[in-house]
Amino acid sequence: MKKVIMKGHEINLLGKTLNVGDIAPDFTVLDQNLNEVKLSDYKGIPVIVSTFPSIDTGVCAIQATKFNNEISKFSNKAKLILVSNDLPFALHRYCGANGIDNAIVTSAHRDEVFARDYGVLLDQIRLLARTVFIIDKSGKLVYKEIVENVSNEPDYNKALSVLNEII
């Protein structure tokens, strides 16, 4: 079972293990306005799916801001879906106050399907791990990063380099 470190403690990740080359499972999450967002809505477009524990923490806010700013450079040739278990209202408040407007910011709080299908559910605390998945135009997973220590940021440069290669 995959583990990550959060606040100095090892925490199991619950769910399936996705590998590069797998077809990314479709999912349904809610956007900031309570509208359903599905991965399949973006079929034929490369998508970054990046998860984090909570938008109201420093590293998560940095991650959301960095990816939001970077995805704008791809001129709608790729999409960015940010996912946490925060309530949509908290996401709306944060994104509105901080200009997060290039990303599709979503909540997986309704159920554990997304979190378990992507293997990102933090055992016992029901938050999401810090991860980056890149899915190509055909729906295949071409990049995966599960950040070992949740206090650290993902490798933005590596992820964006992979995205640039598949556009």
Can you tell me whether residue 133 is helix, strand or coil? strand
Is 60 designated active site? Answer: yes
Q: Do 130 and 59 form a contact (C-beta atoms < 8 A)?
A: yes
Give φ, ψ of 140 to 5 degrees.
-90, 140
Q: How many residues does the chain have?
A: 167
Q: Do 154 and 50 form a contact (C-beta atoms < 8 A)?
A: yes
Which stretches of the chain are DSSP H helices?
58-71, 88-98, 113-117, 156-166
Can you tell me whether residue 138 is helix, strand or coil? coil
Can you tell me whether residue 26 is helix, strand or coil? coil
- Candidates 159, 160, 156, 150; CA nearest to 60 is 150
Catalytic residue among 60, 82, 135, 160: 60
Query: Which residues are identified as catalytic?
Result: 60
